[in-house]
Amino acid sequence: MVSYSKLNKAARGWLDTHMGDHIRWNEPMARHTSFRVGGPAEAFFTPPSAAHLADFVQWAGKAGIPYRIIGDGTNLLAPDRGIAGVVINLRHFRKIEYAAEDAASATVTLRALAGVRLKVFCQFAARNGLEGMAFALGIPGTVGGGMMMNAGTQDGSMADVLVSATVMDAAGAVREIAREDFRFGYRSFSWESSAAGEKAILLAGAFQLQKGGRDARMLRKEARDRLCDRRRKQPIGLPSGGCFFRNPPEGPGAGALIDRAGLKGMRIGGAEVSAKHANFIVNRESATSSDILALAAAVRDTVRRKFGVDLKPEICII
C-alpha cells in the first residue's frame, strides 16, 4: 500500500464506476520504470481513449485529485514510499499517421500520439525514407516523454523537427499549439500558456521530416549502426534511467567528470555507477530509490569538491 493517500472513498468509488477496467490499485511503480524501483501508485490509470482521459481530468479538477503522466518511465525515479493520487500511462495512444506533404520543399509531416515509443517512430521514419529522426535512435521512452524532455543528442533534438503539439487542458478540451508558441530549453519543453501554470497533457506531436535524400535501405542501415554504437557504449543490460546528470554548459561532460573523479564502480546498496559509462547509475542488485538517490548525492558532492561543478539531474525525480 502507498504510505499516504489522496483518494477518499468517494474518489475510489467514482474511479471504479467510470474507469474500473482501466484502473489498477496499488500498482508497483517498479513495473513501470526502467530503474525497476519505486513503491506503489495509489491508482494507475491507462485511458483507452481521449474521451476517457477528458472525463477523468474534468472530474479530477472538480474533486481536487492530483495526477501525473508518465511515459515508459525510462527517465523516471519513483520513491520507495509510492505515489499518492493517480498515475496516468498513455500506452493506448500509439498511432502514427501522415499529416501533410509538401512537394516543393520535399518534406513530410508525421503525426505521432504521445504513447508511441521513440524507437518505433524512428524506425517508421527510416522505413519510409524520411530523414530527421536519426538523432533519437537509441533514446528510450515515448514520443510524449521525448517532447517534454526535448530529447536529443549531439546530433539534434526534438526542437529541430517538432512543428505542432496536441494538448488536453485541465478542462478536458483538446487544442493545437503552434511552433511559434513553443519554448525549448536544454532537456525542457513548454509553451506560452503552460508557463502560466496550465496543467495540460501532451497527446501528440507533429514532426516535419525530409524525404528524397537517401533511400530507406540506407536509412535503415544508419539506424542499425547507431543502435549498435550506443549498445557498445552504454550499460544496456542493467536497469537504469539513462544518463543521470545533465552535461554542464561548458567544459567536460558529466560522464567525463564522474570518470575523472574515479567514481566508476562506486556502490551504495544495490545502486552502482556504471563501469561502462560513468553518467549511468544502474540497479546492480535489488536497489531501492533511496540507494540511487544516495549514490547520486555522493557523486554530486565528489564532483563539486574536485572540480567545482554542480551536476544537475537529467532524470525526473518524484
Active-site hit among 111, 131, 243, 300? 243
∠ CA 295-39-231, nearest 5°, is 55
pLDDT, tens only, 11-68: 999 999 999 899 999 999 999 999 999 999 999 999 999 999 999 999 999 999 999 9
For residues 86 and 258, what is the distance between their CA atoms, to the nearest angstrom? 36
Question: CA-to-CA distance for 202 and 114, rounded, in angstroms?
Answer: 7
Helices (H), the chain: 9-19, 50-63, 118-127, 143-148, 216-233, 254-260, 289-307
Cα 1 to Cα 38, 41, 115, 179, 275: the distances in Å are 12, 8, 27, 42, 35
The residue from 117, 187, 284, 300 that is catalytic is: 187
* 253 pLDDT more than 60: yes
Q: What gap in Å lies between CA 273 and CA 30, rounded to an integer?
A: 20
- Residues 141, 75 contacting (CB under 8 angstroms): yes
Q: What's this model's pTM, rounded to 2 decimal places?
A: 0.89
Q: How far apart are the first and last CA of the chain?
A: 17
CATH of 9-89, one of 2.102.10.10, 3.40.50.880, 3.40.50.150, 3.30.43.10: 3.30.43.10
Catalytic annotation present for 314: yes
The single-letter DSSP state of residue 180 is G
State which amino acid sits at residue 206. Answer: A
| 240-317: in CATH 3.40.30.10 | no
- Per the structure block, which three cell numbers stand in for 286? 535489488
243 is catalytic: yes
Backbone angles phi, psi at 135, to 5 degrees: -60, -25
Model confidence over 168-204: pLDDT tens digits?
998 999 999 999 988 888 878 888 655 444 578 999 9
What 8-state DSSP symbol labels residue 188?
E
Tell me the CATH class for 96-233: alpha beta
d(CA 138, CA 122): 9
How far apart, in whole angstroms, are the C-alpha atoms of residue 172 and residue 167? 9
97 catalytic per annotation: no
Q: Hey, where are the domains in the chain?
A: 9-89, 96-233, 240-317
Choose the catalytic residue: 27, 131, 272, 314: 314
- What contacts 24+ positions apart, CB below 8 Å, involve 23-32? 26/1, 26/2, 26/82, 27/87, 29/73, 29/78, 29/82, 29/83, 29/87, 30/78, 32/70, 32/72, 32/73, 32/78, 32/87, 32/89
What is the C-alpha to C-alpha distance for residues 186 and 189, in angstroms, rounded to an integer? Answer: 8
Who wins on pLDDT, 106 or 206? 206
- Give the residue-averaged pLDDT of 297-315: 96
